[in-house]
Amino acid sequence: MNKILILFAHPALEKSRVNLQLLREVRGLPGVTFHDLYEAYPDLYIDVKREQKLVEEHDIVIFQHPFYWYSSPAILKEWQDLVLEYGYAYGKGGTAFAGKLMLNAITTGGAQEAYRAEGLNRHTIRQFLAPFDQTAELCNMTYLAPFVIHRSLFITTEEACKPFASEYRKVVEALRDGTVDIEAARKAERINDLFPKFTVSGLAQR
């Protein structure tokens, strides 16, 4: 069984129906460590050694966050800047995280069709997440396709959130249990697409 570390970053969690439901679904799962960065570091002063030890103890790292301005909340960038040290995570002798898996789990207000070359945002989600992909490459980790929930602003009730939260749980459990086709997950646009589809009226997720 793989050990999974979910590094969660949301500066206004109380306003997010979707992320609240997602974390309720995966928090407490065997083999899964849920780590809320804003809760742990309200002053944004990150304990580098603690964070490095956490990653060392796990096989898979999931960055769960809203897709703010085509990237992540500020604390995740701060985390990368401090925790991924030269000679430790990358560069000469930097092999501490080698062989681990990394992916993002994100919520975005935009529809799926907006993230295409001909769409409103002119690029795919994978293209916007290229810095995470390259970070994984530099640290000798394997970057997997992200888990993505589109049109999150339109998911306005707990009932509407449930199918997405259930899908997220299935993805996390499959990663933990080693039942995901890693090569397929590397190449996909979204890791969601490797799992059975569900339909949600009016949301046009697929």
Domain ranges of the chain: 4-205
pLDDT value at residue 204: 39
Distance of alpha carbon 62 from alpha carbon 6, whole angstroms: 5
pLDDT value at residue 197: 65
CATH architecture label of 4-205: 3-Layer(aba) Sandwich (3.40)
DSSP E strand boundaries for 17-68: 32-36, 60-66
pLDDT value at residue 18: 83
Distance of alpha carbon 141 from alpha carbon 60, whole angstroms: 9
Question: Which uninterrupted H or E stretch holds 81?
Answer: helix 74-83
What average pLDDT is seen over the chain? 90
The model's pTM: 0.92
Distance of alpha carbon 110 from alpha carbon 164, whole angstroms: 16
Which stretches of the chain drop beneath a pLDDT of 50?
A: 199-206
Do residues 74 and 99 touch, judged by C-beta distance below 8 A? no
For residue 108, the Cα-to-chain-centroid distance in whole angstroms is 12
Exposure string over 48-80, b if 16+ CB within 10 A, otherwise e: eeebbebbeebbbbbbbbbbeeeebbebbebbb
pLDDT value at residue 169: 94
pLDDT value at residue 152: 77
Give the residue among 72, 74, 47, 63 at the shortest CA–CA distance from 100: 63
pLDDT value at residue 199: 44
